Chains A and B, each alone.
Chain A
Amino acid sequence: MTKNIVLAQGNGGEENAELISKIFYKHFKNEILAKSEDAAIIDGGRLAFTTDSFTVSPIFFDGGDIGKLSICGTCNDLAMMGAKPTYMTCAVIVEEGFSVEELEKIVRSMKKELEINGAMIVCGDTKVVPRGSVDKIFINTTGVGVVQKSGISSNSVSEEDVIIVSNEIGKHGATIFANREGMEFSSNLQSDCTSLWPLVEKLLSEGIAITAMRDATRGGVAAVLNEWAKQSKVCIEVNEEAIPVSDDVRGICEILGFEAYNLANEGTFVLAVKRSDAERAVDVLKTFEEGVKASIIASVTHQYDGRVLLLSPWGSKRFMDLPTGELLPRIC
């Protein structure tokens, strides 16, 4: 590991995982943390508990803003454990000189998203720091959810499961890139930033046998699948043609040399579902606007345990690895 923290260690990929395990897991070691789930399951399995900090640039982007993101992100982590979001905290660190009007706009976004999840902010904190100490505004939210279905775990994926993605992938990452760099060709592109609890609630009420769920945030779908393959000691074989990717995202990937499955999502999740329930799960997801492109993308085998295989439409195969380093545009 490097002597000083570098940006790549926050990428949701390999360097990020190394930093977490060698510094935080090492000193905070306990059984709950070691499970490495989206949210910790506490109180004898009754509650899910999670926290997340949001530092996005630009703070207002196509399809959302940092406020919406700060509620979706934390509530989605709870939803991924089969838990209904209930109580939340909100801590804001804001730079001197930040516009009050924009702050209120952000908070209104948060309120709207809280209503969708049926959750409320019950305590919080506000800090104002000198200009330049933070990039405009940082928000941390912590959430507690009541577990509706226990046993959902990324450590339990098996050959009986198939893998589904809930919608087109990479939209958030591509949008942020496009907005940050002022790329004008992506006018149709919007972040997928959305709350996933309504989709999860419906899947649970339909009795879908869900083994694992994870929202594919930093590190994208590739990071989720690699974590599952390692944690569950299985091989995930992805049918490349079945991965839903919009033309806009594909276009950005072509120009900059990215892979859509490495780009972040904020309203798209990956599910491991018992094979017998897979088609039904896709049908349920497709009843939502946010799940209209849901697709079965992979099967689970033991061909290369701990690895993710990508099967091309012309019969070749390769590994789909964890993203490494900062996402940097290609040179030529």
Chain B
Amino acid sequence: MSSLELKDLYDGFRNPEVIKSFQKLIAVEAKKLERTVNIMEVCGGHTHTIMKYGLTQLLPENINFIHGPGCPVCIMPKERIDHAYTLAMQEDVILLTLGDMIKVPGSHGSLQNARAKGADVRYVYSPMDALKVAEENPTKKIIFFAIGFETTTPMSAALLDVVIKRGIKNIFFHINHVTVPEVMKELIDSRDEHVNSYDHRIDAFIGPSHVSVISGSKIYAVFPEHYRIPVVVAGFEPVDVMEAIYMMIKQFNEGRSELEIQYKRLVTHEGNLKAQSLIEKYFEKVDLFKWRGMGNVPNSGLKLRDAFAAYDAEVLYKEVLPYDEIDDHKLCICGDILRGFAKPQDCSVFGTACKPSSPLGSCMVSSEGACAAYYKYGNLL
């Protein structure tokens, strides 16, 4: 990819004049609102866009953001991190995972701590990097600790596809893939008194565009149709988010509740059917997946189909993996933040006992986490 193409990815989407124009349009629409509108950005990527580019400072007070549960690192419960830690400490194992995952503390420590104790833990840019590691280390067992939403799931499936087709014998999987719509439903259906109180009611969702590039916008159709909650699928550049907010407020003022796509440059209603069939081939839903702070959410996680159990590290190492339930840190309110009824500053240890360099909770660990965003970029208003 040339640098010119890279530049094209963001250049127009951070244009100050366009951002200021949307600011004016939003201000006009927001004046017509009868009350404060609570918009949940489901994905941590949007939280970061909002904080990094200071977008809240450009918006009227009657537009309120609620940070949602959409960060693959933040939502990982300690039980699963302990699995990763235990696997990493096994003899002849190289544990691979994505980026920030290596920093999240489990009950014995993080994968970073495991590495400091001698475990071979590596981060990869793409699951496909596992192929090279496996080739260079034929006597080792390479375990890919797979995390992420719909966005990263196809790549795990694609890796398994290659592993099977090439007959590679030393790559295994620990699957922690989760799905977005189920947790959004949980936020509404749980009838949590806080979430559904007037102040914290979710009036609209900003849907993460990268999820819909794979799964299509169709996965959100239930929210306007069944719950009367508008969804706008939006990109992650500041112009994208500003336009999505404008589209949402227009829906309110026009009395509409619809599924709209702001990120038309890549998202379609159907999504990437090839990726979807690959996921379908190798993965199936688990009845319950535990989310940090939210507990067990029905149908929200994936596992390898039984036919592929020979590649499933969770099956192969079930004798050594710990299965006890673990409570979160008493002072940490990541759960409340992920459910959208607390903001990072509401936490008594935010920025003091809990900082990116010494995190107590996952929302501070992940670069996609709400606490990390608030800590890093500061809330100057």
Task: Please report A residues at the B interface, Cβ cutoff 8 Å.
Answer: 1-2, 4-8, 14-15, 18, 181, 185-186, 188, 247-248, 250-251, 254-257, 307, 312-319, 321, 324-326, 328-332
Interface pick from B109-117, B135-143, B275-283: B109-117
Per-residue A-contact encoding for B161-205, CB less than 8 Å = 1, 0 else: 000000000000000000000000000000000000000000000
Question: Shortest Cβ distance from B9 into chain A, in angstroms?
Answer: 6
Question: B3, A319: Cβ atoms under 8 Å?
Answer: no
Question: Shortest Cβ distance from A100 into chain B, in angstroms?
Answer: 26
Task: Please report B residues at the A interface, Cβ cutoff 8 Å.
Answer: 1-4, 6-7, 9-10, 14, 16, 19-20, 23, 45, 51-55, 57-58, 72-73, 98-103, 112-113, 115-117, 123, 125, 147-149, 151-152, 210, 238, 355-358, 366-368, 375-378, 380
Question: A328, B51: Cβ atoms under 8 Å?
Answer: no
Find the B residue at minimum CB distance from A13.
B357
Question: B3, A251: Cβ atoms under 8 Å?
Answer: yes
Question: Shortest Cβ distance from A327 into chain B, in angstroms?
Answer: 10
Find the B residue at minimum CB distance from A259.
B52
Contact of A6 among B4, B112, B123, B367 (CB under 8 A): B112
Instruction: Please measure, in the bound complex, the distance between the C-alpha atom of A257 and the C-alpha atom of B236, giving whole angstroms.
Output: 12
Question: B52, A329: Cβ atoms under 8 Å?
Answer: no
Known: A314-B53, A326-B112, A331-B101. 20 other contacts (CB 8 A): A1-B358, A8-B357, A185-B6, A248-B6, A250-B7, A250-B10, A254-B9, A254-B10, A313-B16, A316-B53, A316-B55, A318-B51, A318-B378, A319-B376, A321-B375, A321-B377, A321-B378, A328-B100, A328-B367, A331-B72
A331 and B117 in contact (CB under 8 A), knowing A14-B356, A185-B2? Answer: no
Give the residue among B113, B116, B238 with the most A Cβ atoms within 10 A: B116
Contact of A4 among B116, B149, B368 (CB under 8 A): B116
List 5 A–B pairs whose Cβ atoms lie within 8 Å, in order of A's numbering.
Answer: A2-B116, A185-B1, A251-B7, A254-B6, A321-B375
Instruction: Please measure, in the bound complex, the distance between the C-alpha atom of A251 and the C-alpha atom of B11, giving whole angstroms.
Output: 11
Question: A331, B98: Cβ atoms under 8 Å?
Answer: yes
Contact of B377 among A248, A315, A319 (CB under 8 A): A319
Q: Which chain B residues lie closer than 8 Å to A247 at the CB level? A: 3-4, 6-7
The 3 A-B pairs of least Cβ separation, nearest first, read A316-B54, A251-B6, A319-B378
Instruction: Please measure, in the bound complex, the distance between the C-alpha atom of A145 and the C-alpha atom of B6, giving whole angstroms.
Output: 43
Question: Shortest Cβ distance from A2 into chain B, in angstroms?
Answer: 7
Q: Which chain B residues lie closer than 8 Å to A7 at the CB level? A: 112, 115
Contact of A325 among B7, B9, B54, B103 (CB under 8 A): B103
Question: A332, B72: Cβ atoms under 8 Å?
Answer: yes
Instruction: Please measure, in the bound complex, the distance between the C-alpha atom of A294 and the C-alpha atom of B99, giving whole angstroms.
Output: 33
A-B contact count (CB 8 A): 124
Contact of A329 among B7, B115, B123 (CB under 8 A): B123
Question: Shortest Cβ distance from A182 into chain B, in angstroms?
Answer: 9
Question: B357, A15: Cβ atoms under 8 Å?
Answer: yes
Instruction: Please measure, in the bound complex, the distance between the C-alpha atom of A149 and the C-alpha atom of B19, giving whole angstroms.
Output: 46
Question: A5, B99: Cβ atoms under 8 Å?
Answer: no
Chain A binding surface, main DSSP class: loop
A185 and B3 in contact (CB under 8 A), knowing A319-B376, A324-B357, A330-B368? Answer: yes
Question: B148, A332: Cβ atoms under 8 Å?
Answer: yes
Q: Which chain B residues lie closer than 8 Å to A325 at the CB level? A: 103, 356-357
Question: A331, B1: Cβ atoms under 8 Å?
Answer: no
Question: A332, B152: Cβ atoms under 8 Å?
Answer: yes
Q: Which chain A residues lie closer than 8 Å to B123 at the CB level? A: 328-329
A330 and B3 in contact (CB under 8 A), knowing A2-B116, A314-B16, A314-B58? Answer: no
Contact of B20 among A6, A14, A314, A317 (CB under 8 A): A314
Contact of B100 among A2, A248, A331 (CB under 8 A): A331
Chain B binding surface, main DSSP class: helix
Q: Which chain A residues lie closer than 8 Å to B6 at the CB level? A: 185, 247-248, 250-251, 254-255
Q: Which chain B residues lie closer than 8 Å to A330 at the CB level? A: 99-100, 367-368
Question: A318, B152: Cβ atoms under 8 Å?
Answer: no
Contact of B357 among A14, A315, A318, A329 (CB under 8 A): A14
Q: Which chain B residues lie closer than 8 Å to A6 at the CB level? A: 112-113, 115-116
Question: Shortest Cβ distance from B10 into chain A, in angstroms?
Answer: 6
Instruction: Please measure, in the bound complex, the distance between the C-alpha atom of A307 and the C-alpha atom of B270, giving whole angstroms.
Output: 47
Question: B52, A332: Cβ atoms under 8 Å?
Answer: no
Instruction: Please measure, in the bound complex, the distance between the C-alpha atom of A15 and the C-alpha atom of B356, giving whole angstroms.
Output: 10
Instruction: Please measure, in the bound complex, the distance between the C-alpha atom of A188 and the C-alpha atom of B356, giving whole angstroms.
Output: 34
Instruction: Please measure, in the bound complex, the distance between the C-alpha atom of A275 and the C-alpha atom of B181, giving whole angstroms.
Output: 55
Instruction: Please measure, in the bound complex, the distance between the C-alpha atom of A325 and the C-alpha atom of B378, giving whole angstroms.
Output: 18
Q: Which chain A residues lie closer than 8 Å to B147 at the CB level? A: 331
Q: Which chain A residues lie closer than 8 Å to B113 at the CB level? A: 2, 4, 6
Find the A residue at minimum CB distance from B366.
A331
Instruction: Please measure, in the bound complex, the distance between the C-alpha atom of A315 and the C-alpha atom of B98, giving whole angstroms.
Output: 34
Q: Which chain A residues lie closer than 8 Å to B125 at the CB level? A: 181, 256, 329
Find the A residue at minimum CB distance from B73.
A331
Question: B7, A8: Cβ atoms under 8 Å?
Answer: no
Question: B45, A332: Cβ atoms under 8 Å?
Answer: yes
Q: Which chain B residues lie closer than 8 Å to A248 at the CB level? A: 3, 6
Question: Shortest Cβ distance from B50 into chain A, in angstroms?
Answer: 10
Contact of B380 among A8, A255, A317 (CB under 8 A): A317
Question: A332, B55: Cβ atoms under 8 Å?
Answer: no
Instruction: Please measure, in the bound complex, the distance between the C-alpha atom of A330 and the C-alpha atom of B356, giving whole angstroms.
Output: 15
